Amino acid sequence: PRRAFGLCATGSTKFLHGGDHVAEIFGYSAERIASLPEGWLSLVYPEERENYEAFQKSASLQAGGTPAAMTVRFLRSDGTWEWARVIRKRLAGDDSGVDAVLFWVITPDDQVPDPLREADAMFRKLVEQAGDGILLVDGVGNVLEANAFACESLKRDLPEVIGHNVLEFVPPEFHPNVIASLQRIGKETRVSVEMCHQATDGTIVPVEITVGALSGGRALAISRDITHRKQAERERQAKENYYRGLFENNNSGVLVLDRSGVLTDANPALARMLQKERAELIGQKFEKILSPDHRAKGSQLIEQMISGRDSFPDLHLVFQGKSGNRIQTYGSPTSFFDQDGHFTHGLLLLNDVTDLKKLENQIIKVAEQEQIRIGHDLHDGVGQLLTGIGSMMEALEYDVAPEQKATVVRIRDLLSQALTDTRRISHGLSPAAVKNRGLPGGLQLIADTVEQSRHCKCKCELDESVVIQDETMVTHLFRIAQEAVSNAQRHGKASEITLSLTRLDSMTAALVITDNGKGMPIRRKFVSSDGIGLRVMKYRAELIGGEFLIQTLPQSGVRITCRFPCDRLKGRNLTNRSK
């Protein structure tokens, strides 16, 4: 039906008869309209509501029952607006105050131009299918139109939304934000604000409202449900708080580096470890907080982290405390990359092992002293005793019967060999063996001693430019070479050993011991071992500020490398041979 007739109380929208027929032409039932907050007025287009109420009153005052007419828009149950011609006339002579009202829908599809109808249909379809709530509001926030999603999120029917002010859908604490946003509409073309709206069942839903200004003081408000985003933000914040707690309360020192090697964060434990304030550390170049002899190693570490290296076994770093003291640490680096594989930042976990290193140093000193004592005992005790026995055997050689002389000579030769071995062992145990000869002479002594065994060939390749004035360093390097050669003979069953002392650059040299033995049962190229001898070599290397590496060779054998700082080379150009 396109027309309907009814009787209303004079000057009001209360139907006395025919209300169900009028409701039907707009797609409602009379009961549904009666349940709306403002009854029939809820169906009138908000901007025309005031004029419609005035029209009703004026029609009731027309003299002689003259009819009054008005064209007005009504809200259909499907959310569309319908133009209707309303003709109202007071029934003459009726003392009960009754108006006759005719509703005539005047917007049939065939009266609308095709392009306009298609454009309007397309627009409405887009609005209705939008995944966000869309409201058309006037300058004070009264809702003129709303799509289905907006009604669904508010848990209200369309008539319960149209004509109502947006403040009714928002908890009171957000009213100032809404009012401020409405006031900004005339000054700004687009306003965006986060708030919450409240459904009829009391549900609070976080939303992001984007308001765009339209002509005539109206605005289009798009409401986007951000519940999942807020939940993700809360979860992310919880994780951040968790990891921040681990960072702040970790007993190990933790620092964060950017691509240029600058500290962007440091935890309290690191500040205590380095005896500095956090503010002093943040913004510093990583190399600057290291001990001078470890700064090159620090720069190399950053390059390796940026390149993606993920294995740093027993990374030893020495930092410089506030008073200039050396702080020894073991570090565990981790690199982080973005989706494109670009380095974003690095994290370094550090454990202070200064006291442990002092204890290790004391243990090595005690072991060194014990070796010296044993060497002296062998030289002064066993050696002298063997010398005396040898002299007695020489005298005995002339007193024995001829048939026993060969046996005495054999015993004398064995005593002589035992004396030679005892002296060799005692010299090896004594630091005088290297102090009097220097490191090159000490390495040559090791090679000569191995050659004398006739079971293994040993050669030295010595770079005369390597100069070491520190006697303690010389002793540690000598002991490393001794232990490496001993391991190659005893465990590797090597037949060839090479001792190499080479300068790598103006301030760095390397001691390399290579053998052709049976190698080591390891799975990685560079490893740390649980063997006591290897660990002692590693400790000795760290005590002199060096780097200790063990490498298995492709065919057979092992290469042990100790890189260490040496006296600066002056007056010569030297090609870097570190590779």
Distance CA 485, CA 494 (A): 9
pLDDT of residue 177 exceeding 60, the answer is yes
Q: How many CA atoms lie within 13 A of 437 on its CB side?
A: 17
Nearest to 211 by CA among 235, 234, 185, 247: 185
User: Ranked by mean pLDDT, which of 306-310, 327-331, 554-558 comes out on top?
Assistant: 327-331
CATH code: domain 3-111 is: 3.30.450.20
Number of H helices, E strands in the chain: 17, 20
**How far apart, in Å, do the first and last CA atoms of the chain sit?**
94
pLDDT given at position 154: 85
pLDDT of residue 579 exceeding 60, the answer is no
- Per-residue pLDDT tens over the stretch 458-469: 999 999 888 888
Domain 115-225, architecture per CATH: 2-Layer Sandwich (3.30)
pLDDT given at position 454: 64
pLDDT given at position 98: 77
Sign of CA dihedral 432, 434, 437, 442: positive
Determine if the pTM surpasses 0.75: no
Give, in words, the CATH class of 251-351. Answer: alpha beta
pLDDT given at position 126: 61
- Per-residue pLDDT tens over the stretch 83-102: 888 888 877 555 557 788 88
Tokens of 381: 């005790």
178 versus 344: the higher-pLDDT residue is: 344
Where does the pLDDT of residue 189 fall: very low under 50, low under 70, confident under 90, or very high at 90 and above?
A: low
Query: How large is the average pLDDT for residues 385-390?
Result: 83
pLDDT of residue 287 exceeding 70, the answer is yes
Residue 497 identity (one-letter amino acid): I
Cα–Cα separations (whole angstroms), residue 75 to 15, 36, 41, 546 = 18, 13, 10, 86
Q: Among the CATH numbers 3.30.565.10, 3.30.70.20, 3.20.20.70, 3.40.50.2000, which is that of 438-579?
A: 3.30.565.10
Place of tokens 């369309």: 158
Q: Any idea which of 88-92, 171-175, 289-293 has the lowest mean pLDDT?
A: 88-92
Query: How large is the average pLDDT for residues 492-514?
Result: 91
pLDDT of residue 272 exceeding 80, the answer is yes
* pLDDT cut 90: percent of the chain above it: 21
